[in-house]
Structure 1
Amino acid sequence: MTMDMTFLGTGSAYPSPHRGASALVLRAEGECWLFDCGEGTQTQLMRSQLRAGRITKVFISHLHGDHVFGLPGLLCTVSLNTNPSSVQDQPCVEIYGPRGLRHFLRVTLGLTGSQLLFPYAVHELEPTLDQSPPEGQLSHEMTTESGPLHPQEQPGRSICLDASSDCYLLFEDKKFVVRAFRLFHRVPSFGFSVQEQDRPGRLKTELLKELGLKPGPLYGRLKAGQSVTLDNGRVVLPSEVLEDPIPGRKVCILGDCSSVLGEGPLKACNRADILVHEATLGDEHHEKAVEHGHSTPKMAAAVAQACCARRLVLYHFSQRYKPCALQKEGDDDDVVELQRQAEDALDGSGIEVTLAEDFFTLPIPLRRPQ
């Protein structure tokens, strides 16, 4: 039931000796998911405690290079480290991102003659025209894939905006519901909401003993939500012997943006345990940030407050902001000032603010039943 996220790159525009390009990994229930994959992500993975070969899903927020240039290389490196004898057992790597990502990967892998030892599928999100200025809209000719699938490519889905929720439902299973939502940037950008499903509460073991039930298969049936009939004919309902359900955690990760679009983001991120939001420049550079499709700490704080998030994590800093460990007295651009600006904007809200740094791992504790 552990869940955490590790930031592999917290810088914007390009990787530097101080900050990697955008990438973070969410680990939960044995799953390992990568969000964005800027240039150098595979090197950052090697420097971390994470294993690239465990990544089963990739989510790309938008097609700017500092969020996607590392993906082809990462897939090839994972393949090189795959045991050829276990090829038949390799799961399909599911990749989600904007329309055009499928063509980008197919052409890149094809032109470089890259063969993978595992299958992959690209599921594309269809953007809307209001997600970027007209010059940021990519033509269908540029983004539509052509030619045969890559030898290891499996057909992917095209996912359209659901009008009722104003979100994109990426998938839902027994563990998670994952949605995407629209952001405004210089090119169409998306955010992602990972909602953990609620878990059954703990069994009231003392009550079960009083009823004459011993630990064993019947406990498992009750935990799974099935009724049990005792020898005396009494039917024991799960609701009688289970404590309140354990609420699922919610993690929301926003790509580059100067604003959210529609009601979808606020719905999808409502009461998020963690809201990861870019803060490329300080509040004093507000006009410049918006001009380039980015946000400041105050703008990020406004989104966190509108969503009633529990914690706001800032990342995607301009390379002008050095990590705290490298900050020197008298430096003009202090990254800690970005945290102060967000905290000032959230004063009295109870929302915590955290600065992400490369290789920072944030545990996400279980929620307590209401």
Structure 2
Amino acid sequence: MPSISLSSVNITFLGTASAQPSSTRNHSSLALRLGGDVWLFDCGEATQHQIQRSSVKMGNISKIFITHTHGDHIFGLGPLLASRLNGAGGMVAGVHDPREQELVAQDQPVVEIYGPSGTRAYVRSALVYSHTLLGAPYVVHELHDAREPLLPESNLPLNASELPHGQDMPIDAESNTWPIICKDALVQVSAAPIHHSVPCVGFVVSELPVPGKMDPALYIPHLKRTKSPMSLLSRLQGGETVELSDGTVLTGPGRRPGRKIVILGDTHDPSPIADLALDCDILVHEATNAHLPDVDSNTKSTDTHESVEERTKSRGHSTPQMAGKFATRVKARKLVLNHFSARYAGDEDVNEESRNIMGAIKSLAESEYLGGEVLCARDLWGFDIPISSS
């Protein structure tokens, strides 16, 4: 069979703030574009506004992954679902609204939501108590960690838009991860709990092996003697072995690893996901606070790198140095820092002070990162992820 692979993979940061938004950073959300599909990771307040300001298409959102249920990561989910799934507040008494009817799921694409315990109850409550009727279906799958208490399930009835077959996925007792939470012909998603102040999950998106590099010059002289050279070339590009009519056997290049993207939620210790994250192309890691005595005028005179790290960890968060150390541990090819305190403005492209501060944050991560490039995310910024040349 001809090989298939993703035409493009792109990350766009819709919100890069921690706790409180600012005029230059919105609450947390990240869009991963896989060919024509969009997967959201977290959905803080006003994410749908950020989507409208970006090149991300709302109608292409097919999956939403929630790392944890703190408000700055989930408060935008109800409004976004209302926009994505043609929601409304209903009709006046006596007037029919087709959204009140039972949905025929097989006739419509389903938005799938993945998150920790409590995600399903939160979404259901947000829609019920806001009297929101959706015009298309969604389903919620929860990742359950036996070592954490389950939040109580909502006793509210399913509305017409929530499909009843949402899975409760128990953690694998041996690896303490969720080895595969979803998979298709091109990509699979794994997850693991990471340490924060509340149950939190990190996600690993792995493209399945892709066709190897091919030198057509090795094959074309042979294929010219056949009646359908392009068809045979396509099969060879997929790694197949082809026998020609004269007995010549040609073997396509072996497949090579696809792209791996690791997206962490808030954490002061992501070590449980280390094995899944190994050799990733992109590691998105929070860096909420930093000690910047030379560039940040708000730095306390009594602070040190050690005291800032201790205070940051006590709140379940990380410093740039902690992110750099973990990136080194998992051999990440690129580290992208995210989830910054509101004191660190995200306008470094036009503001010299912000540029100096973010440059210093980057340098702190680089001091502990024995790898590739370090980048600092800002709102509405994104980049393509090419297939590794190795």
TM-score (norm 1): 0.87
Q: 2:81 aligns with which of 75, 97, 116?
A: 75
Cα shift readout 1:109-162 (whole Å, capped 9, x = no counterpart): 112121212211111011353xxxxxxx6x54x431324322111121111111
Distance between the aligned counterparts of 1:115 and 1:33, measured in 2? 23
Instruction: Spell out, residue by residue over 1:259-306, the C-alpha distance to the aligned partner (whole angstroms, 9 max, x if none).
Output: 0243xx111110111000000000432122111110000111111010
1:179 aligns with 2:179: no
**TM-score, reference length from structure 2:** 0.83
The structure with the largest helix share of the pair is: 1
Q: Secondary structure at the match of 2:367?
A: helix
4+ residue segments displaced more than 6 Å: none
Q: How far apart are the structure 1 equivalents of 2:355 and 2:108?
A: 50
Distance 1:187 1:79 in 2: 29
Partner residue, 1:242: 252
Q: 1:204 to 1:337 in 2, by over 3 A?
A: closer
Write the letter of the residue equivalent to 2:229: P
Q: Give the 3 Å change call, closer, same or farther, for CA 202–341 of structure 1 in structure 2.
A: closer
Task: Say yes or no: does 1:299 pair with 2:322.
Answer: yes
Contact 2:239/2:252, CA 8 A, preserved across alignment: no
1:1-370 correspondence runs (5 A): 1-80=7-86, 90-129=108-147, 140=150, 142-154=151-163, 155-168=165-178, 169-201=180-212, 205-206=216-217, 207-211=219-223, 212-213=225-226, 214-224=228-238, 226-232=240-246, 234=247, 236=249, 240-262=250-272, 265-283=273-291, 284=305, 285-323=308-346, 324-325=348-349, 327=351, 329=353, 334-346=357-369, 349-369=370-390
Distance 1:210 1:146 in 2: 68
Provide the C-alpha distance between the structure 2 equivalents of 1:286 and 1:320, rounded to a whole number of angstroms: 16
| Alpha-carbon separation, structure 2, partners of 1:332 and 1:361 | 18
Q: Which runs of 5+ in 2 are unaligned?
A: 1-6, 89-98, 292-304
- Tell me by how many angstroms 1:350 deviates: 3.1
Q: Secondary structure at the match of 1:24?
A: strand
Partners of 2:155 and 2:238 in 1: CA distance: 47
The structural deviation recorded for 1:218 is 3.7
| Residues 48-90 of structure 1 deviation map (CA, whole Å, 9 limit, x = unaligned) | 11111111010000000000000010010122389x9x99753
Q: Mean alpha-carbon deviation: is it higher for 58-67 or for 13-22?
A: 13-22
Q: Is the 8 A contact 2:66 2:115 kept in 1?
A: yes
Distance change in 2, residues 1:333/1:301 (3 Å): same
CA distance in 2, matches of 1:261, 1:115: 41
> AA paired with 1:215?
P
Contact 1:39 1:68 in 2 (8 A): yes
2:167 alignment partner AA: R
Give the Cα separation in 1 of the matches to 2:238 and 2:332: 31
Distance 1:326 1:204, change over 3 A: closer
Q: Hey, what's the Cα distance between the residues in 1 that align with 2:59 and 2:197?
A: 32
Q: Deviations over 1:85-114 (max 9, x none)?
A: x99753111110001100111111112121
Offset of residue 189 of structure 1: 0.5
Give the 3 Å change call, closer, same or farther, for CA 227–339 of structure 1 in structure 2.
closer
